[in-house]
Chain A
Amino acid sequence: MTDMRVEFWPAVKKVLLYVLLCSVTFVVCFPLIWALSTSLKPKSEIFAIPPTLIPKAMTLENYEALLTGRQQYYQSGGTAQPSGPTPAQFFTRWFMNSVIVTIGSTIISIVVSTLAAYSLTRFRYWGRTAIPYFSLVGYMVPSIIFVFPLFLMMVRLDLTDSLWSLIFGYVCITLPFCMWLMWAFMRSIPIEIEEAALIDGASRYQVFVNIVLPTALPGIIAASIFSMIVSWNDYLFGRVFINSLDNLTLTVGVMLFFEGTHVDWGLLMAASVLMTLPMAILFMALQRHLVAGFGAGAVKG
């Protein structure tokens, strides 16, 4: 009898646990599931009552409109008229702009912070303990404070409305955290191997490239993911720095879909899905590193 109890209760507990997990996950993910579902529906089904979770007539027309930039026609007074440049026509261009500024700013932030973190943890000079904490405070400064001074700086440098302004702008919001994270990570790497290599006659640069960089790779990956997420998701800098349709990033551009008289929800949800996709792929591929990075950087301190 005791044996039965031992086998029966854990099994029930396990089932209940899975039921709970599935329900929580469904509620949390519902907004995303609904967005995906809407993006796959034809216009007629989007407003159907009762709403359908799984589209009855699944279609890729919204994705096609975004990716091919097909000119859209609206019915007005019986004849179809071209509606002028629509946001859908710029979608692929905005996508590429977002890719460029995200990668550009991430490379700068990572290179600068990795070099600095090595220097701070391996050399002794005035300010070596203050700089990481200074970065941490910088990380907490909201971007709303940076945005206008930086904008005026870009005006003077003649960089407004160029992707460079965004690359530099995103360095300003990603560098502090990358610095803090890389510093925490480098600090945890034991110094003995490097010392042994130095005694064996290796130069500082050899040690850095052959020993330190490979060991610091998990930290570099975590910092890169963080930096890419922040740059890709930003709206404020893009909104203030850029004013031509050609140079907008995805976040600012997609908000323009709301202008005009009618909102095409299918198109908007397809844009939302495509915009989330690169981050989703990154996240899935590197989830382990993300958690490890948070463990090293944000929690300890």
Chain B
Amino acid sequence: MSRLNFLSSDRFVGLVFIAPFVVTALVFMVYPIAEAVRMSFFSYNPLRPDLTSFVGLANFEFVFSDPLFWDSFRQATIWTLLSIVFQTVFGVSIALLLHRALFGMAFFRGLLLFPYIVPTVVIALIWRWIFNPEIGVVNHFLLWVGLINEPVYWLSTPTMAMASTIMLNVWKYTPFVVICVLARLQTVPLELYDAAKVDGAGVIRRFLDVTLPQLREVLIVVIVFRTIWTFNKFEEIYLLTKGGPGTSTFNLAVYSFEQSMANLRVGVGAAAGVVMMIMLLVGSIVYLRIAGFGSEEK
């Protein structure tokens, strides 16, 4: 094949088009991940790079024998589970509410999806403002209605701080569930509902027997995705509570960040990151199984 022929051949065009992606992915994704794994086997202090040394599995031993790591793990599990349950319940409810042909629906849909694009920094600032114990509007309202008798310390008691971060997370990410469920609802054949109506099924029966089975697939995908992401979230917690009060809202991402940044134990932080990645890989395999990778390739 002559050189000119090769340059205009399909094979060449295909390679030229994929090349930038391969290069970018290798440099900015594969390399950092490999580097993170490598760092987890080294003792590394950014202020004393001359003392860097290979320590084998010592970082992992440190992580697994650190009570704070297990606290973080437990707190991350609680925060993930509660976030996902509320996001799914609210998400499906709002999607059902929005899935109607009514005048002005685009307006309501826009407003209800809006929290998804609000920067986490902004939400954290607003949260600190409205949940402020002395001057915040939430306490003021609850006192006024009579639901509470004294101010609630939303961000400075462990339980309430956890509740506040969960609220923040649910508020921001419920729209994601709404978008996915709404997209699926639009493809449910109306005949199914008509048939159920003819059979005398009420609203609740129709939801349980028609809607829910149709949503099963999308809900599984959404829950797997959201679980993986929520478990590893950093900013949603760090910006609101910095993991506090004390360490009561630490999750693994905050743990890893604090080990690297505050304690300057970058190797330990990397080891915690590798543990997170392994859990994530297991989650991804579950997802790929569900999505049926390899079974429907064209």
Contacts and interface: CB of A to CB of B under 8 A. Distances in A.
Interface in A136-186: 136-138, 140-146, 148-150, 152-153, 168-169, 171-172, 175-176, 179
Given A31-B123, A172-B29, A148 B270 contact: yes
A279 B116 CA distance: 10
Given A125-B14, A140-B229, A112 B21 contact: yes
A134 B171 CA distance: 30
B234 A142 contact: yes
Interface in A263-284: 265, 268-269, 271-272, 275-276, 279-280, 282-284
B161 interface: no
B256 interface: yes
A203 B225 CA distance: 41
Given A28-B111, A235-B235, A145 B33 contact: yes
B141 to A, nearest CB: 9
B interface secondary structure, majority: helix
Nearest to B253: A144
Given A116-B18, A251-B121, A255-B121, A143 B182 contact: no
B288 to A, nearest CB: 7
Contacts of A283: 110, 113-114, 117
A116 B21 contact: yes
Interface size class of A (residues with CB under 8 A): 35 or more
Nearest to A26: B111
Interface stretch (B59-67, B125-133, B147-155): B125-133
A115 to B, nearest CB: 4
Nearest to A226: B117
B113 A24 contact: no
B100 A17 contact: yes
A122 interface: yes
Nearest to B14: A123
Nearest to B98: A21
Contacts of B257: 144, 236
Given A32-B114, A175-B28, A299 B180 contact: yes
B140 A279 contact: no
A111 B20 CA distance: 9
Interface string B96-117: 0100101000101111111101
Contacts, number: 238
Contacts of A29: 111, 114
Contacts of A236: 234-235, 257
A281 to B, nearest CB: 10
A31 B125 contact: no
A31 B129 CA distance: 9
B126 A272 contact: yes
A233 interface: yes
Interface stretch (B79-87, B190-198, B204-212, B272-280): B272-280
B179 interface: yes
B18 A115 contact: yes
Given A24-B94, A116-B21, A144-B273, A34 B126 contact: yes
B156 interface: no
Interface of A: 14, 17-18, 20-21, 24-25, 28-29, 31-32, 34-35, 38, 47, 49-51, 108, 111-113, 115-116, 118-120, 122-123, 125, 129, 131, 133-138, 140-146, 148-150, 152-153, 168-169, 171-172, 175-176, 179, 187, 203-205, 229, 232-236, 240, 250-251, 254-255, 265, 268-269, 271-272, 275-276, 279-280, 282-284, 287, 290-291, 294-295, 298-299, 301
Interface of B: 8, 10-11, 13-15, 17-18, 20-21, 24-25, 28-29, 31-33, 35-36, 39, 94, 97, 100, 102, 106, 108-115, 117-123, 125-127, 129-130, 135, 137, 140, 144, 171, 179-180, 182-184, 218, 221-222, 225, 228-229, 232-235, 238-239, 253, 256-257, 260-261, 266, 269-270, 273, 276-277, 280-281, 283-284, 288, 291, 293, 297-298
